Chain A
């Protein structure tokens, strides 16, 4: 029963994340890919994303410090970042990326700087939420298997 409750909690949290726009359908797709062969697939992918995206953000930060701004380079960076974020369904992060790119196209330095702060913020928020989520999921354990100790 306990496990069932926990698993329900996991479901709720996931749905909440989606409803709130933190995650989109892609996340569900990832979960569907998870199977016996890769039982922790989603978590692995998410971990990979955060690792890679952090690296990208450092590059973008560095690029934003240059003067004058190289907008086309920034746009390229952001395009990559956006693509990456789309892989796990990081919806809010993705949206901020799009906004950032718009400012790049306009050559709007302030807009870029502001938006990137937003990107970083959303990125951090999502990371925390997903950490909690996976913690919960691990506690709940796989549906069929016996629950694992914390």
Chain B
């Protein structure tokens, strides 16, 4: 870090030209490298253009084109840069709001030189925190948390929460080239990226297992952490994840309450407080991946071919409730229109979380699990269902769930519906539909985020996403967003869209497993059309939402 903090690259965003001029001068006097911007949207574009172009962002709270807090959240989500807010208004409530949205500092105008001189500390702090996390990580390959000492680049990829194909070296390299180049973080502060815990399918599964084992009512971060026994995972990681999980579950419960077709969920703790802007993070680093799934589904998810484990006829019935394909229940029908109407994804880039399907009768799942190959298509579903199973009697639509790598999974999935659904799919002609449904889910996961304001929409969304981690994420973020949606206009975040189902690369598992296109049924096209419709409409150039636990 030669000369640090000199040369610190600062982006200043303020609509006031006088202040821009002054701040620019002040920062230059600190020997910082200054870029000014008078519009928040321009600033975001600049930031997105080159993720590592800046070290820190200073932004005013009040701006005409975008609320400063929103910008703050976006930057925190997408780029994870430290953001300093400034305002002439120093009211406690505003400062608090800034902190809540993730500001690392809040400066009052008029700003003094000495205050600006010290902003480098925020950059530095982030860096050393990242280093700490890295150093504490187990450098062995760990399920879902593959941390290498090679550098943050690898680590960061692996830990990305989005459903990026983390195990795809190709993707990783892309990201590397894109994001980090060949900067050595030890020399270049700008290259030091935050190391976040990525809740991959595997990791989440472990988490869920732990939670179920302890008992949802008695669960606590420490217990979960101990049970999970993942080196390098901190209590804070778990606590944050647990919080989201709870929100997700409570969201599901509310959904199910309003939708009697679905089973009820046990009421979980629900806190509607604002999450720090990290919730449902969008990581710009992941954008390269076709992985809107914030749940960090790894590459284990593969395209589901027709090979689906067999399930029994009666098991199929279990799925009925959530598979849109089956028409035995109204709920299913609901799914389809829901899919169509789906156009509200929680903002903050939260991809639809997977709804966990919860049911208790999937036992055959286990047997098939061992078949790695065939399972690769199902594990996500299984996993989803599994972790929700114990606590809720959820029968959520079987959507494409992120598929946890089945490499030596020891978890005992008790998720039955998933498997049931899967097998049912293969067995019955509805398998295609099931897959389709799953695919739909995935598509949902990719749906662009929009202000989720209408409860109906939310409900629809939720229903369709219920079995995805993303959904979970979206729920939690939604809960937050719903509380602020009225006041804010959460920026649209379009998830990467595949354009069409067929376009999804086979080796890229964003979230769910995709069924072979040849199995597309009417329903699928029906749903897809709906999805595409919404999707395309809401697509913008934003990136995927990625959920990460940032510590």
Contact = CB atoms under 8 A, between A and B. Distances in A.
B26 interface: yes
A87 interface: yes
Contacts of A38: 25
Given A82-B88, A83-B109, A88 B16 contact: no
Contact of B60 (A25, A30, A32, A83): A83
A41 B26 CA distance: 11
Main secondary structure of the interface of A (DSSP, over half): helix
Interface of B: 15-19, 21-22, 25-26, 29, 60, 62, 87-89, 109-110, 112-113
Nearest to A26: B110
Contacts of B89: 79
Given A26-B110, A45-B18, A83 B25 contact: no
Given A33-B25, A79-B62, A80-B62, A49 B112 contact: no
A95 interface: no
A115 interface: no
B16 A83 contact: yes
A29 interface: yes
A33 to B, nearest CB: 5
A84 B21 CA distance: 11
A81 to B, nearest CB: 10
A76 B68 CA distance: 13
Interface in A24-67: 25-26, 29-30, 32-33, 35, 38, 41, 44-45, 48-49, 52
B25 A84 contact: no
Nearest to A49: B18
Contact of B18 (A32, A35, A84): A84
Contacts of B88: 79, 82-83, 86
Given A45-B21, A86-B109, 12 more contacts: A29-B112, A29-B113, A32-B113, A33-B22, A45-B18, A48-B17, A48-B21, A49-B18, A80-B15, A80-B16, A87-B18, A87-B19
A89 interface: yes
18 contacts: A29-B110, A33-B22, A38-B25, A45-B18, A48-B17, A76-B62, A79-B62, A79-B89, A80-B62, A82-B88, A83-B16, A83-B19, A83-B60, A83-B62, A84-B16, A84-B18, A87-B16, A89-B110
